[in-house]
Structure 1
């Protein structure tokens, strides 16, 4: 698998980042408990197989159950072979103010130390905030703590996870963050508005939600009646796929953007890993196909709110 520069960090990462949430906790459509998850030893074998297949970029978080612990056991003797990104605990509850400066420092440093112990390492390659809020993006204290961690060599790069283009724009303009993880896929291409500015600033972009939790794949058929327009729109991509399965086409679309360093894909089964390795083969969309796919984004991307769909019972 080819490697791409992660912005100006000096780190080169595989075009696929192995998403570690599914190996650490019940997550995703149809996963209700640990009985639906891989046993730990199988998860470790899957991580080793990913490295052997050319993936060197692994994404986890303090809040992903025991994902960090599993990665620590898998990679403690292969640390030089992998790029580890992990995320800090949440700094505040939604709608609540940030805690005082000293408390912020304690949360961030405490979370980092927990991650280092779990991952069995003395540094992480990318240390990230789990999600941006207006308060976090406005906080010079938060940015200063992350700069201090980087200055001490405990992380090689700092990062932040965003959901909205306004957050991404602010994060890029601030100059405080080396890496931004953001949602981007065939249906919802709003974040592409920020790609050129991120490239100019040397910010590495990691794309998540590339399969829209499986809607851009096998789960995009026979959707709830409330999602009929979504299902019809997903069907329109067949004219562009050139016999590729939709999930493969969706991944190749994201990797066709030169500004994207890696796509983050949740992998919790050997067959998913094998399909991912086949897809990330260095052969992506030509200019005409890429332009056609960009024109076929969903006309109302604000409706693509999967947590809301789940709450409404539309994803069962």
Structure 2
């Protein structure tokens, strides 16, 4: 598995990471997937305190405790849940971040997090206070580096301008090319893009198209675009084209597809090997798919 440096850091991650949200709550199955991921050369695991109320972090922690030094471990913070209150609520305060990290460390059975990410955010947040919390955690050695998980243009620009983030995680796939607006900006500032959802909820696999469409695509458009993608490189699978396209973009640090079973995990890992897409194939994929931009949360 090839590796890439994240941003201006010394974190060297596998091109394919594992998005742990889809592991589920069956401990035996989750541990089997995590063990296989590491055996296949994946060293980058992405979880969050939000997933299954911390249970996801616990399973990841159990899987890596004997080999922690070989893992680039990422988790997230900012969504808060309290007994007696309805659902999760947003809290990017310094006090909460510094308390929440202690709980994540406990669940993950480690004394440091390689990449700690703010799990959302709005321009109305006290961003300076949030940055101060992450910087203090770095100074304390609890966090090696930090980043944000956000699709909001005004939030991204503010953090890139004011902080030392090394990554921005965004939903990015052939069916959601909105992050391409930011690739040159992030590259210029030595910040890596982490692509979540690179398979567009399975639509960029052999999975049949649902009747509800996807983002800017109607059901009819999806059927056509899948046919067009398939004919672009007939020797490659849809998964191969989907992941290779994202990894060919400047500034992309890794793709982190989820996997709910071993078959999916192996397909995702194998998809980035072999030949790369040609310039002509890349142009064709851009021609067949839409490149929209985020129209809200712009300054």
Match of 2:85 in 1: none
Per-residue displacement from partner, 1:34-79 (whole Å, max 9, x unpaired)?
Answer: xxxxx31221122111111100000000011111100111111110
Deviation, structure 1 residue 22: 1.2
RMSD between superposed Cα atoms in Å: 2.5
Distance 2:178 2:121 in 1: 17
What SS does the corresponding residue of 1:207 show, helix, strand or coil? strand
Distance 1:190 1:53 in 2: 31
Match of 1:110 in 2: 99
Match for 1:262 among 254, 258, 267?
254
Per-residue displacement from partner, 1:67-104 (whole Å, max 9, x unpaired)?
Answer: 11001111111101111000013269xxxx976xxx92
1:172 and 1:197 in contact (8 A); partners too: no
Q: Does 1:285 align with 2:277?
A: yes
Match of 1:209 in 2: 197
Pair 1:170–1:231, CA change in 2 (3 A): farther
Distance 1:167 1:241 in 2: 37
Alignment map for 1:1-316 (pairs within 5 Å):
1-24=1-24, 39-65=26-52, 66-90=55-79, 104-136=93-125, 139-221=127-209, 223-224=211-212, 227-281=219-273, 283-298=275-290
What are the ranges of 5 or more consecutive residues in structure 2 without an aligned counterpart? 82-88
Distance 2:232 2:175 in 1: 14
Distance 1:116 1:295 in 2: 45
Deviation, structure 1 residue 105: 2.2
What SS does the corresponding residue of 1:134 show, helix, strand or coil? coil
Distance 2:227 2:241 in 1: 13
2:78 and 2:120 in contact (8 A); partners too: no
Distance 2:158 2:170 in 1: 13
Distance 2:93 2:210 in 1: 46
With normalisation by structure 1, the TM-score equals: 0.82
What are the ranges of 5 or more consecutive residues in structure 1 without an aligned counterpart? 26-38, 304-316
Pair 1:206–1:222, CA change in 2 (3 A): closer
Distance 2:225 2:114 in 1: 39
Distance 1:159 1:45 in 2: 28
1:98 and 1:135 in contact (8 A); partners too: no
What SS does the corresponding residue of 2:66 show, helix, strand or coil? coil
Match of 1:29 in 2: none
Match of 1:34 in 2: none
Structure 1 runs, 4 residues or longer, greater than 6 Å off: none
